[in-house]
Amino acid sequence: MTSFRIYRMLKQIILLSMICIIAGCATTQTSGDYTKDDTLEPANRVFFDINETLDRALIKPIAEVYADVAPNFIRAGITNFFENLAYLNVILNDLLQGKINQGLSDVVRFVANSTMGVGGLFDVATPMGLPEHDEDFGQTLAVWGFDEGSYLYLPFLGPNTVRDSTNFVPSTLLNPFYYVSSAILFPVTAINAINKRANLLEASNIRDEAAVDPYSFTREAYLQQREYLIHDGNPPITGYDDVFSADDDGSGVLKIE
């Protein structure tokens, strides 16, 4: 197996861990049923178990050692650096969704962090009033009216839907490291993968302790968080619309219909 293939595997495995952050948002949602199309559940569960096994056997132990020896400021700098590299994909999808003002703000944010922030190691843009945004091609397709399709749990890549999986192409092509030789690519991105997993150790432990069925918990959390991002933090309330409605006087008081 070449170093490039190993890099790709590590990069994809670590995405599984990102679902732990999603869990926090999942527990605060009040909208309706996010369990949609999971017709591929038998295959999804197989891939879920494979990813979990690889994480427990390889990624998590390395991340635990890294978290013990790496100072917090080092981990924060590495996180900032790689998030800044990925920000070109955010800018593209700002524009594709017609968010012109947000796109211009994100361009300035990217330039500020890339220059004054020493290649993105320091987030100087947020204190300047340039907030971070989270946009991707899956959200863009949702804005354009495309259905999310079946829920997918992809080997090494983790939770997805048919619609969201399309983001892999632009996010990869817009990442400058994609065009770097594998001799440099592998060690740098391996550090990124381990750093991400280390940042999620506490959240992953909470998920493992709280979830009766980790697969279902991961699926629901992922779908809820995607809905949250697509609607820019204001997802429609679907579960209680037939029972409650806002008072016509604009008071915001709910009444039984």
CB 44 within 8 A of CB 179: no
| Largest separation between any pair of C-alpha atoms in the chain | 66
| Residue 160: strand pairing partners | 152
* Dist. CA 79–CA 198, nearest whole Å: 11
CB 115 within 8 A of CB 206: no
**H runs (alpha helix) in 116-240:** 137-143, 168-173, 182-199, 201-210, 214-230
- pLDDT at residue number 147: 93
Strands annotated E in the chain? 151-154, 158-161, 244-246, 254-256
Question: Which token pair is 110?
Answer: 């990217």
Number of domains in the chain: 1
pTM of the model: 0.75
Question: Which token pair is 151?
Answer: 């829920």
- pLDDT at residue number 25: 35
* Dist. CA 211–CA 243, nearest whole Å: 29
By C-alpha distance, which of 154, 156, 175, 173 is closest to 165? 154
Show Cβ contacts of residue 127 under 8 Å, excluding neighbours closer than 6 positions: none
- pLDDT at residue number 16: 40
Q: What is the pLDDT along the chain (257 residues), one digit of tens a residue?
A: 444 444 444 444 444 434 433 333 333 333 344 446 899 999 999 999 999 999 999 999 999 999 999 999 999 999 999 999 999 999 999 999 999 999 999 999 999 999 999 999 999 999 999 999 999 999 999 999 999 999 999 987 889 999 999 999 999 999 988 888 777 778 888 898 899 989 988 878 888 887 788 899 889 989 999 999 999 988 887 543 443 344 444 443 333 33
Show Cβ contacts of residue 7 under 8 Å, excluding neighbours closer than 6 positions: 182, 185, 186, 189, 190
Dihedral class, residue 50 (left if φ above 0, else alpha if ψ from -120 to 50, else beta) = alpha
Domain extent, residue 122, equals: 3-256
| CA separation, residue 231 to residues 20, 140, 148, 236 (Å) | 21, 11, 14, 8
* Dist. CA 156–CA 160, nearest whole Å: 11
- pLDDT at residue number 238: 59
- pLDDT at residue number 36: 66
How far is CA 239 from its chain centroid? 25
